[in-house]
Amino acid sequence: MREVYQEQLGKLADELASMSAMVGTAMERATKALLEADLSLAEQVIEEDSQVDEARARAEEHAFGLLALQAPVAGDLRTVISTIHAAEDLERMGDLALHVAKTARRRHPNEVLPEDVQEYFAEMGRIAVKLAGRVRSVIQTQDVDSARGLEGDDDEMDDLHRHLFTVTMSPEWTHGVAAAVDVTLLGRFYERFADHAVAVARRVVFVVTGKMPSA
């Protein structure tokens, strides 16, 4: 029975790792759609978002099933509860990629981003995809040091996010209010994506150590 139970816990981790891959791919495609005004790619991200929602529902159903039928304690209970919270964070990461894709679709055939901020979003997209990949890895390996290392990538994202404010508020900004609003909202989407990735990594630390890292 114990072996079967551990196998079920392993399946929970596999489901979260799969979600991490899905949201990373979604943000990669959404960023490409944003930078290249690619409508078909934006539509693909929007259409496939339901798959992330379904994956969260499956993970939560399995987690609640373990709570109801197996009555886990100690470390096993931490794993099950953390799965529920992590699935929520990962779904929100998918939603943020969805918001980026919808912005690209809404402005099509025009480009959303002025040329002088495109490089910042290309870098934010790169960091976001990297974070999703690292989240997948730490879920699979439960490597505490690697999980804590996500904080550095999140700091890079925060720095870029803050810099966008200086760009849009500069007297040299000539692209109007609508473009400034788009840039501000999009920057927030990427920043929140990174925050949720770090939240999942902190859950992994909690599962392994029994202590939740401070935010």
**Per-domain residue ranges of the chain:** 2-209
Give the global pTM.
0.94
DSSP state of 1: -
CB 193 within 8 A of CB 93: yes
Q: What is the pLDDT of residues 49-83, one digit of tens each?
A: 999 999 999 999 999 988 887 766 777 888 899 99
Location of structure tokens 């981003």: 113
The whole-number pLDDT of residue 215 equals 57
Residue 25: which H helix or E strand, with range? helix 2-36
The whole-number pLDDT of residue 9 equals 83
Distance of alpha carbon 142 from alpha carbon 201, whole angstroms: 9
Q: What is the pLDDT of residues 130-167, one digit of tens each?
A: 999 999 999 999 999 999 999 999 999 999 999 999 99
Distance of alpha carbon 93 from alpha carbon 87, whole angstroms: 10
Cis before 114 (ω within 30): no
The whole-number pLDDT of residue 67 equals 82
Q: What is the pLDDT of residues 12-58, one digit of tens each?
A: 999 999 999 999 999 999 999 999 999 999 999 999 999 999 999 99
Picking from 74, 164, 157, 151, the residue whose alpha carbon sits closest to that of residue 113 is 164
CB 121 within 8 A of CB 31: yes
Helices and strands: H and E segment counts in the chain: 6, 0
- The dihedral through the CA atoms of 77, 80, 82, 88 has a sign that is negative
Say which residues have a Cβ less than 8 Å from residue 48's Cβ, sequence separation at least 6: 22, 26
CATH superfamily for 2-209 is Phosphate transport system protein phou homolog 2; domain 2 (1.20.58.220)
The whole-number pLDDT of residue 3 equals 67
